[in-house]
Structure 1
Amino acid sequence: MHKTRCVAHGIQLLLKDIYEEINWVKVATDEARIIVMFMTRYTVLHVVMKEYTKYRQLRQSCATRFASNFLMLQFVLDLDNELRLFVASSEWRRFDYCTIESGTRVTEIIQSDFWARGREVIKTIELLVRVLHLVDGDGSTAGYLYEAMMRAKVAIKERCNSEASKYERIWELFENHRINNIIHPIHVVAAFLNPSYFFSQNFREDREIKDGINFIHENLLLIEEKHQFMREVQLYCSRPSTLFIATPKMMLQTSHPRIWWDYSGDDLPMLKKYAIRILN
């Protein structure tokens, strides 16, 4: 038995740091919060707003779940046209509190380039939120986490248009949390033992993969299992044709990796034993 970290909590902490330390992310998110707080503060105003949004609601963020900052921003962005029409309407101007400082500020935000900046934030953070949904759902996702995090890192750079000033600090935060709060060596081995990833063009046998296998070798195996385990790891790496007869090959894209091992791992009994345990 070996305990791993709570991945969902680690991703929440990463999203917290991105919000607090990346200024262009914080500014757009805070502007969305200003809109939501003002629109929901006054009952009559809120009722009229819902008529413009066809009763689609804005959502407050949650103080302890930092992904909710970005979900709140997404809810606001989804009502782009409706909120623009509302603050340009005669109904909006009739409310006295729309002329006070906070109301004027909301009008300025909604009529500014906030929408483009907000969409840039969502586009950049989107895959991280998807990874959070992956690990926060039902079922075992250990075999998918490592690859999902690698794809999220690449996407962050691409969606920042490779502008170093925008993505480099996010990458620093990403790597710090990935190593210290999110990815455990067991997750790396789970990716290695996920055949749909291992046999894909995206797979790279890097130092993390080797360190993960060494972690399993040193911490989870019985002494009498070590030699056979490493021999079977080498055989698996050689991609033997016996593992890829028609049915197991088809299962690569259609089944959970644990089921694949349960069905097709008889040639690698020791590796199969630990693959099923880790992927569960």
Structure 2
Amino acid sequence: MNIGIGLPIGDPANLLDWARRADAGPFSTLGLLDRLVFHNPEPLVTLAVLAGATSRVRVQTEVLLAPLREAALLAKQAATLDRLTGGRLVLGLGVGGRDDDHQAAGVDLHTRGRRLDEQMTVMRRIWSGEPYGEGVGPIGPAPARPGGPEVLFGGFKPAALERVARWGDGFLAAAAPSWAGGLFDTVRTSWKEHGRDGEPRIIAQVNVALGPQSVIDDAHANMHAYYAFTGMADQMVAGMLTTPAQIRDAIDAFADLGADEVMLYCYGLDPTQVDRLTEIM
């Protein structure tokens, strides 16, 4: 079972410390959220900086809101980061659900799923080295990983789960073990129905805060602010894991469900949480 760290977004300048601690420890991946109308750092730019400060850990968007971006440029950015990191980029993609993000990007919220499917057609073609289209040549550089960086999809609706089998390499599940198993089964069934070889990679995400009460309070406040738009922020904050036993139990539960990796997502800004999480693994 691989264990990754989901990075807090409240203080971008602090993330180099987080990344270096994680790279020196047992962690497999650094993940970063995406929003447009918020104070979070832009994930591709940030992960490029963090990749340059590390040598081992993967860097993962979790999830990048692809419909807010233009497909050809996104493909070039992702291929560049994948090439420069020696294949350490994992491109987690989703459609998002905030109207203000889509308004700011000038795209239609109601067609975001269809737009993502169209983007994947374009990006897979670009990453394979084919010409962009009639009269337009290939768009490089070639990614380090043949066919493009590893692509994961997040989401809960049937179209999002099926997208894993049609376009992706795996699934990002921001769900508790009690109902994540059903999502995993749906993704695996769809994978077989689409004739895909092997198995999809399954990545689970849990929200954690480990440390003194000040760290936990900081994490609760930051997570509540991030998810206030959902109307369910109180319930989501209540589900944050704040003890070593809770975190170990969640990792074990996801292992029993066959997850390949668990991302421990942190909202508290204190980077010594990386060291505390290392101690319980």
For normalisation by structure 1, the TM-score amounts to 0.28
Larger Rg: 1
From the two aligned structures, give the one with the greater strand fraction.
2
TM-score by length of 2: 0.28
